[in-house]
Structure 1
Amino acid sequence: MSEENKQIVEQEDNIMDHDYDGIKELDNPPPRWIMLMFYITIGWSIIYAAYFFWLKEGDHQDAEYARKSMAHDEKYQIETISADDLAAFTDEASIAEGKQIYTDLACMACHGMNGEGNAIGPNLTDEYTLHGCDFQSAFHTIKEGVPAKGMTAYKTQMSDEKIQKVASYIMTLRGTNPANAKDPQGEKCE
């Protein structure tokens, strides 16, 4: 018996009893590996439903998001300082810590090692500024960033207290006149 005839005989054996408008259907079961995957999926969905919905052991999306957000805030010690508490630090320890944070975050890549500015960032040592002269403006610029000019927002990377220390350090740079300072930009502070 030829291969073609053998296939026809096998098909005739697997033809189902019903037909519709002369169209006959083969009883052609899916491969075993697909059926195994199907049964595994059913089993997994029962376990999932039991864990999250019937036994109420697992967190739903909202609860899991809230838990992860709290862990993130604790890790980075994120807290908000009220406008009344927002003032420049003047003690040496806070200024030194602000300088260390300035160095650790690589602020000098854009603003220079001594705040003199470079091709990317503005000079922080002169009497001119792009985003306001007061301490609150410096704090806001560091915290919220200036995406249009490439300034990163640091509100998710460090606490308000650390931002306050960096802003305090930057305020101490005004009037220091380092070598190779970039030309003034923005409005003059009075």
Structure 2
Amino acid sequence: MSEEKKILNEQEEDHLMDHDYDGIKELDNPPPRWIMLLFYITIGWSIIYAAYFFWLKQGKTQKEEYAYKSEQHDEKYQIASLSASDLVAFTDEASLTEGKQIYTEMACMACHGMNGEGNAVGPNLTDDHWLHGCNISDVFTIIKNGVPAKGMTPFKSQLSDEKIQKVASYVLSLVGSNPANAKEPQGKVCETGDQS
């Protein structure tokens, strides 16, 4: 018997278990310690998880988690739409400042210019000519639902109704501001009384 086989046989003898079945002997070859540690950690974690969710009832079930996430989404985007009677143009400084901030954050200037003067893509928002109506309800609807045929993106999935109302109020506040490099008028002339 070669020296190598002899060493292997001696190592096997160290791991042989006591029982013998029809001449077949079994080696005691335990898994590595790191696998056993991982196994015990998994068992411990499952006990903590079960206690937290099932025995102590501290965690949310899938249905509760879904309801919570849906409520957060509805709150964020105010899925319950404002009625036409709730739509009024804000005139207070705080709302118009927030509307201007939203106008900037949503990159409205890419199509309508920094001051609403319009450009090659979007119409001038500062003159008395309007393409799709000039009252708060019309402007609100355009911002919310967009005008896909003209490339106007709908913002209903990105802004709440209140934020759309504020940016619409800001857009209406731009009328008559006469910025430099204003685009030529487009659409129908809007009567002053139509903007409320």
The interval holding the TM-score normalised by the smaller chain is 0.5 to 0.7
Shift of 1:114: 1.9
Alignment of 1:64-75 (within 5 A): 64-68=65-69, 70=71
The residue number in structure 2 matching 1:189 is 188
SS of match in other structure, 2:84:
coil
Confirm whether residue 84 of structure 1 aligns to residue 84 of structure 2. yes
Pick closer, same or farther for the CA change 1:8–1:147 going to 2, 3 Å.
farther
The residue number in structure 2 matching 1:101 is 98
Alignment of 1:21-32 (within 5 A): 27-32=28-33
1:170 is aligned with what amino acid?
Answer: V
SS of match in other structure, 1:47:
helix
Pick closer, same or farther for the CA change 1:28–1:121 going to 2, 3 Å.
farther
Structure 1 unaligned segments of length 5 or more: list them.
none
Contact 2:99–2:163 (CA<8 Å) still a contact in 1?
no
Pick closer, same or farther for the CA change 1:97–1:121 going to 2, 3 Å.
farther
Contact 1:116–1:125 (CA<8 Å) still a contact in 2?
yes
Shift of 1:63: 1.7
Q: Taking every aligned residue pair, what percent have the same amino acid on both sides?
A: 51
Matched residues in 2 for 1:66 and 1:86: separation?
Answer: 28
1:153 is aligned with what amino acid?
Answer: F
TM-score (norm 2): 0.64
SS of match in other structure, 1:153:
coil
* 1:55-74 CA distance string (max 9 Å, x none): 22221133234335546766
Shift of 1:78: 4.0
Confirm whether residue 112 of structure 1 aligns to residue 109 of structure 2. no
Give the paired residue count.
178
Pick closer, same or farther for the CA change 1:13–1:102 going to 2, 3 Å.
same
The residue number in structure 2 matching 1:139 is 140
Contact 2:77–2:158 (CA<8 Å) still a contact in 1?
no
Matched residues in 2 for 1:118 and 1:56: separation?
Answer: 58
Matched residues in 1 for 2:114 and 2:48: separation?
Answer: 58
Matched residues in 2 for 1:120 and 1:156: separation?
Answer: 21
